[in-house]
Amino acid sequence: MSESTQPITRPRDPASRQRADSPAKPSIVRIVGIGDGIVMRIGDQEGRWGDIVRVLAGHLVKAEGFFQGERVAIEIGSRLLSADDMQQIADVLTGYNIAIWAVRTSNPETRRMAQEIGLSVEGADGNSGDGSSGDGSSGDGSSGSGGPGRIKDERARWEVHLGQRGQVAPSVKPQSEFQPPQSIADSIADRAIDPNSQATELGTLPPSQKKAVAPSPLAVFRTDADEDADADADEEDTDDQSSAEVILAPPYIYRGTLRSGQVFRHAGTIMLIGDVNPGAEVISGGDIFVWGRLRGIVHAGAMGNERSVVCAIDFEPIQLRIAGYIAMSPKAVTNEPGRWFWRRNAVEKPEVARVMGKQIVVDVWDSQWK
Amino acid sequence: MAGVVLTITSGKGGVGKTTTSANLGTALAMAGQRVVMVDADLGLRNLDIVMGLESRIVYTIVDVIEGRCPLHQALIRDKRVDELYLLPASQTRDKDAVTPEQMMAVCQELQQIADYVLIDSPAGIEAGFRNAVAPATEVLIITTPEVSALRDADKVIFLLERDVGIEPRLIINRYNPRLVRRGDMLNSKDILDILSIDLLGIVPDDDNIVISTNKGRPIALEREVYISRAYHNIAQRILGYTVPLLRFQEISWLERFRRTIGL
C-alpha cells in the first residue's frame, strides 16, 4: 500500500476494543475476470469454510449489481469439501442470482461431491468432467457459446477489488482484450504492405497500430514516474511494442477522500468521488476524474497516453502531470501575502486539463468541449 | 468499567500537544474524573515540566516496564487537584526502549484504575507515535491553522484510519481571531474542510497559556482566567456534554493602542 510509511502495529489483544468490521483477509476469496466469465478463486490455505462463505457473501453484498445474472466458476484448489459445503456456497450464489458455471478443483473427493449436487466440474489439469443432469447451468459439451465446463487457463484480465475503507487499490496490469498486435504485425508482413502507408486493405486495423512508437520529441519533462511506468509497460506487454495505443485496465471508481500521504495507482482511468487532499497522489494510466476538490498531485496517462484528461469540480492541484508533461498550479507561483492554496476558486466551475499542442491547458468545462 | 485511553497526537511538532495534555488532564480531574497522564515522549520528556512535577520524579515508565518498580510507585500525584496522576517518561532512554505491546500492557493496567488515561504522544509518525497510539481507544489530533500543520495532521489521520481504525477528533490550537478576520489565517471552516473530522474544540492563542507552561502551573487550574474556559469546555465535551464554542473577541482599540506604545 503506502510505500514508505511503516504501519502502526496494534498487537492482538483479547481485552482490546472490538471493532465493528474486523478485517477479513481479502486474499481468501479473489474474484477475477477471464475471457469467458468470472472466476472466484478461493485459496486453499487455512480458513473454515463457513468463514469463507461469509466473506464471499460480504463481497457479494458490496458488489450486488455487478454480478447479477452472471455465471461464475469457482476454483477451490485442493480443499476438501462436503456436499453440504458445496450446497452452502451454491445457495449463497443463487441467492444473488448468480449461476455457477463450473467448479474447478484438484481434489477428487470434492469433485465427486460437486458432481453429486449437479455442478459441472473441471479438474485442475483442464479436463472437463461430466456434467450430470440437474440445475447446473451447462448440459453436455456440445452446446453454448462459452464451452460449458471448460475454463481456459488464462491469466486474469481484471480483478475485482473490494477493499476496505482507506485501502488503496492494487495496480492491475493492463492486458490486451484483442488479438495480440504481434500476430497482426505478422500478417502485415506476410502481405508485404508498407507499414507506413495508410492503406485501408486491412480495414479493421486501427491505423495507429501500424505506426511505430516514437518518443515524443515534445516530452520535455520525463519524470521518474514516467520512467517507472514505461519500464513496467515494457516488461508486461512484450508483444505490444509496436502499438502506440495504450491498453488500459478497466476504470476504477473510488469513493472517499484521499488524505495526505496516500498514493492511488491504477492502470486505467480513475473516477474519484471525494476530495484529493494536498499531499495525496493519484497516478493513472488513463484519465482522472475527481468529483470533488482536487488539491493533490495527479498524473494522468502515466503510461504515455497524451490524450488523457484530468477533470475536477474544484480544480486546484499542487502539481499536474499528463503523460510526460508537467504543470504547476498558477496559484503556487504567486507570492501574494495572504494567498493560501485552499482559497475558494474564483471560478467556481469544473475544469478540465489536457495536453494541447506542446503544453497542458486547463479549460473551464462547458458543453462545447469535445 | 475500564477507562478511556485518549491519545493526543499531531504529527507536526510544536503545535501544543503537551500543553493540551496537561491542561486537559487538569480540567478532567477538576471535573471529578480520575485521570492518569502518561508521557510517551521518551528521551525528550516535557509533560512533567509543564505540570510542574519534575522535581518529584523517581521512577519512570521504563522502570515500570523493565520491572524495577510497580506501577503505583511510579505514579506521581498532583497535589493541587484531586485524583490527577502523572506517569513520567524517561529522560535518559529513548523511544526504542518500549514496544507497542509493552505500552499496551501498561495502559491496560492503568485503564483498570483510572477513568481517563491521557497519552501525550511525541511528534512524528515513527516508533514513538506508534507506541503512543497502540493502546488508544480514542485519539485527539491537535493542529494549528497553518498549512504545514494541516498537511501533517492529514497524514496522521490517514495512518490512523488505515492501521488503527479509530476516527480521531480535532482540537485547533493557537487560533488567532484577529488574523482570521484579516484573512491572513485559515478559519476553522477551512480546516474542517480539509481534515473532515469532528471538531472537539478551539483554543485561542493567548499569552497566559504560554506563561503558565513556563511556570509549571497549567492554566486550567485558574478558573477565573477567561482562557482556561476553553480547556474546561473541551473537557466537558469529552465527557459528553454539548457546549457551544467560545466567542472570540477581537481586542479593543484601547488595548491595541496600549500595545502599540508599549505599555
CB-closest option in B101, B126, B155 to A260: B155
The pLDDT value recorded for residue A233 is 40
CB within 8 Å of A192: residues ≥ 6 apart? none
Q: Model confidence over A310-344: pLDDT tens digits?
A: 999 988 888 999 988 998 876 544 444 444 444 54
In CATH, what class is A249-364? mainly beta
Q: Model confidence over B118-151: pLDDT tens digits?
A: 999 999 999 999 999 999 999 999 999 999 999 9
B-contacting residues of A 240-259, CB under 8 Å? 257, 259
Q: What is the mean pLDDT of residues A60-79?
A: 69
A158's enclosing H/E stretch is strand A158-160
pLDDT band, very low/low/confident/very high, at A12 (cuts 50, 70, 90): low
**Gap from B221 CA to chain A (nearest CA, Å):** 33
pLDDT band, very low/low/confident/very high, at A107 (cuts 50, 70, 90): confident
B143 or A137: whose pLDDT is higher? Answer: B143
The pLDDT value recorded for residue B61 is 94
**Gap from B224 CA to chain A (nearest CA, Å):** 36
Residue A179 pLDDT exceeds 60: no
| B178 reaches A (C-beta below 8 A) | no
**Gap from A325 CA to chain B (nearest CA, Å):** 26
What is the 3-class SS of B46-77, one letter each residue?
A: CHHHHHCCHHHCCCCHHHHHCCCCCHHHHCEE
B40 or A192: whose pLDDT is higher? Answer: B40
CA A341 – CA A315 distance, rounded (Å):
11
Residue A351 pLDDT exceeds 70: yes
Q: Model confidence over A270-292: pLDDT tens digits?
A: 999 999 999 999 999 899 999 99
Q: How far is CA B45 from CA A228, A330, B54, B136, B152, in A?
A: 44, 43, 10, 20, 22
Percent of chain A residues topping a pLDDT of 70: 47
Q: What is the mean pLDDT of residues A261-273?
A: 91
A231 or B130: whose pLDDT is higher? Answer: B130
A38 or B17: whose pLDDT is higher? Answer: B17
Side-chain half-sphere exposure of B79, counting CA atoms within 13 A: 3
Q: What is the mean pLDDT of residues A193-207?
A: 40
Q: Determine the straight-line distance between the first and last CA of chain B, rounded to whole angstroms.
A: 54
pLDDT band, very low/low/confident/very high, at A158 (cuts 50, 70, 90): low
Percent of chain B residues topping a pLDDT of 70: 98
From A341, which residue of chain B is nearest by alpha-carbon distance?
Answer: B147
Residue A113 pLDDT exceeds 80: no
Contact A354, A309 (CB under 8 A): yes
Largest CA distance in chain A: 78
Q: What is the mean pLDDT of residues A232-240?
A: 39
CA B72 – CA A136 distance, rounded (Å):
68
| A329 reaches B (C-beta below 8 A) | no
| B189 reaches A (C-beta below 8 A) | no
Q: Which is it for strands A351-356 and A325-328: parallel, antiparallel or unpaired?
A: unpaired
CB-closest option in A8, A13, A167 to B104: A13
Neighbours of A79 (CB within 10 A): 18
pLDDT band, very low/low/confident/very high, at A103 (cuts 50, 70, 90): confident
| A17 reaches B (C-beta below 8 A) | yes
Q: Which of B1, B99, B131, B163 to mutate to test the interface with A (most CBs of A within 10 A)?
A: B163
Test A166 with B183 for CB contact under 8 angstroms: no
Residue A38 pLDDT exceeds 90: no
In A277-290, which positions are buried (b, 16+ CB within 10 angstroms) versus exposed (e)? bbbbbbbbbbbbbb
Q: Which of A55-64, A247-256, A278-287, B245-254 has the highest mean pLDDT?
A: A278-287
Q: How far is CA B76 from CA A11, B169, B216, in A?
A: 28, 28, 15
Q: Which of A5, A6, A8 to mutate to test the interface with B (most CBs of B within 10 A)?
A: A8
Q: What is the mean pLDDT of residues B20-28?
A: 96
CB-closest option in B126, B134, B182 to A11: B134
Per CB-CB distance under 8 Å, the chain A contacts of B194 are 277-278, 342
Tell the CATH topology of A29-160: Alpha-Beta Plaits (3.30.70)
Domain with CATH 2.160.20.70 in chain A: 249-364
**Gap from B14 CA to chain A (nearest CA, Å):** 20
CA A249 – CA A165 distance, rounded (Å):
22
Domain with CATH 3.30.70.260 in chain A: 29-160
The pLDDT value recorded for residue A46 is 62
Residue B211 pLDDT exceeds 80: yes
The pLDDT value recorded for residue B52 is 94
**Nearest CA-CA partner of B119 in B129, A15, A60, B165:** B129
pLDDT band, very low/low/confident/very high, at B229 (cuts 50, 70, 90): very high
Q: What is the mean pLDDT of residues B80-87?
A: 94
The pLDDT value recorded for residue A27 is 52
What domains can be seen in chain B, in order of their start residue?
4-261 (3.40.50.300)
| B17-30 vs B207-215: helix crossing angle, rounded to 10 | 80
The pLDDT value recorded for residue B4 is 95
pLDDT band, very low/low/confident/very high, at A347 (cuts 50, 70, 90): low
A45 or A145: whose pLDDT is higher? Answer: A45
A308 or A79: whose pLDDT is higher? Answer: A308
Nearest-10 Cα torsion for B24, B25, B27, B28? 110
